Structure 1
Amino acid sequence: MSLLSVEGLGIAFGGLKAVDNVSFSVNPGEIVSVIGPNGAGKTTLFNMISGVYMPKSGKVKLSGEEVTGFSPHLLARRGMSRTFQNLQIFQNMTVLENAIAGFHLREKGSVFADLLGLPASRRRSRKAQAGARELLARVGLANAAELEAGNLSYGALKRLEIARALALDTKVLLLDEPAAGCNAVETEEIDHLIAEVAASGVAILLVEHDMKMVMRISNHIVVLDHGVKIAEGDPATVARNPDVVAAYLGTQAQEASHAHG
């Protein structure tokens, strides 16, 4: 069964259809990328799936349960996490404190227990810290745990944001341009990290403008044009689609096509 299922999703703003009847699914361990030019509806689609916007039509299902229009907070408790184009990092907190922040949404303890420093609260705190250190090791930031987050490179901050998203016992991870602003080395590090996360069984939905990265790591690609799905398939199929080549990818798609040929 698909971890994430999008069925006929649509929304309009001021009478203009921003996304129209888009459907696809993401299975455990699969990387599905959504591509298209600026204004194609990629971020709007993400916003509907992640509970920021309420779709006008269609359904979103998470592990078979319909979650259309659920708040991001409720989706996170069910195993859906998202990163954003703009970093959502606490620059003045340590790297470890940022990672621990990701665990707070999972906690079900009493505020009074926390205020009084009761044993249950202390146990939760120790568990969150241990989990955060484990995640930092997973994203290659174990040695930076005590550093102030603002001192990290841009690529490292992107990896920290992914670590924090994974703190929610994530089953489905939505990544909104994770390599934006990164240099070639940083992009490669994020590329490897995404592949490792998928290999652990997490379903990944990716929006990314770096077409070489998309073609390299995606199992399946969905192409949007003015909010409508115009093509989908594996990277080789999409790269050879003449409509896609003409509209979005150009020579990058032809290069990718030769690479997959």
Structure 2
Amino acid sequence: MSALLSVENLGITFGGLRAVHDVSFSVKPGEILSVIGPNGAGKTTLFNMISGVYQPGSGKVVLEGQDVTGMRPDLLAHRGMSRTFQNLQIFQNMTVLENAIAGFHLTESGNLFADLLRLPGSRGRARTAHQGAMRLLERVGLEASAETNAGSLSYGKLKRLEIARALALSPKVLLLDEPAAGCNAVETEEIDQMIAEVAKSGVAILLVEHDMKMVMRISNHIVVLDHGEKIAEGDPATVSRDPAVIAAYLGTEAAEDADA
């Protein structure tokens, strides 16, 4: 099966500091690939280059065989790439349902004039978005909270809501930046089960996460960064035993988790 997303020799420098250098990997449909490494390893910078937030200094990003290097995030979204961020991007004063509906804005084909006058086409789009948002909330287990103000949700539910909104674009590739950060053990398990279900639907998932138990549990493939360079790559068992990875980041605890 061919890769949906390929990263080829990607690199970027900030003021003479080499933040990411010569990183390559690929993600196939239905695969969960995790990028791990210590703080400052370049993981989020890598995500920002892939998703169009940063223009790479070298290398390229290929989506479904097309070079999309440096393409704007909204254009990448139209091509099937969606992402979440470390910091929640939730509208706290809107309901859960309204937040989910907001995720459909890039796929709407109407115009402002029709929406202001509430013309039939506008009402139809609103109805379609409402139905789609409810299906997404059911998918992430938040349908019972649809009319709840988002600001009153637990942190774990907010993380699930953000993933739901990213799924509104029907992505082929989903980038998740620390989806379990700040969550307790129960919330983390709920999120990793949800991620696994999304992958089963054929979505290629690229994950940055510090919870090593979660990473080892759900990843098909792992890429390890240190000081902006890839130092290891492979399945969870192989990566957890790599001496360079243990020295740089994982320690013996992760290796023991892989044995469990």
Q: TM-score under structure 2 normalisation?
A: 0.98
> What do the CA deviations read for 1:164-191 (whole angstroms, capped 9, x no partner)?
0000011110000000000000000001
Q: Distance in 1 between matches of 2:84 and 2:3?
A: 21
Correspondence for 1:91: 92
Q: Distance in 2 between matches of 1:120 and 1:139?
A: 29
> What do the CA deviations read for 1:59-80 (whole angstroms, capped 9, x no partner)?
1011111110011111111111
**What letter is aligned with 2:226?**
D
Q: Distance in 2 between matches of 1:245 and 1:92?
A: 44
Name the SS of the counterpart of 2:89 in structure 1. coil
**What letter is aligned with 1:170?**
P
Q: Distance in 1 between matches of 2:59 and 2:255?
A: 34
Correspondence for 1:181: 182
Alignment root-mean-square deviation, CA: 0.7
Q: Distance in 2 between matches of 1:46 and 1:4?
A: 12
Correspondence for 2:139: 138
Q: Distance in 2 between matches of 1:37 and 1:92?
A: 35
Correspondence for 2:239: 238
Please tell me whether residue 193 in structure 1 is matched to residue 190 in structure 2: no
> What do the CA deviations read for 1:172-225 (whole angstroms, capped 9, x no partner)?
100000000000000000010000000000000000000010000000000001
Name the SS of the counterpart of 2:114 in structure 1. helix
Q: Distance in 2 between matches of 1:215 and 1:160?
A: 24
Correspondence for 1:160: 161
List runs of 5+ in structure 1 lacking aligned partners.
Answer: none
> What do the CA deviations read for 1:65-107 (whole angstroms, capped 9, x no partner)?
1110011111111111110111000000000000000001111
Name the SS of the counterpart of 2:109 in structure 1. coil
Q: Distance in 1 between matches of 2:97 and 2:214?
A: 28
Runs of 4+ in 1 over 3 A off after TM superposition: none
Q: Distance in 2 between matches of 1:62 and 1:253?
A: 32
**What letter is aligned with 2:256?**
E
Correspondence for 2:58: 57
Q: TM-score under structure 1 normalisation?
A: 0.98
Name the SS of the counterpart of 1:146 in structure 2. coil
Name the SS of the counterpart of 2:194 in structure 1. helix
For residue 246 of structure 1, report the CA deviation from its aligned partner. 1.7
Correspondence for 1:257: 258
Correspondence for 1:101: 102
Name the SS of the counterpart of 2:169 in structure 1. coil
- How many pairs are equivalent? 259
Q: Is the 8 A contact 1:212 1:252 kept in 2?
A: no
Name the SS of the counterpart of 1:254 in structure 2. helix
Correspondence for 2:13: 12
Higher deviation after alignment, 112-121 or 48-57: 112-121
Q: Distance in 1 between matches of 2:153 and 2:254?
A: 33
Correspondence for 2:47: 46
Q: Is the 8 A contact 1:211 1:252 kept in 2?
A: no
Q: Distance in 1 between matches of 2:3 and 2:91?
A: 34
List runs of 5+ in structure 2 lacking aligned partners.
Answer: none
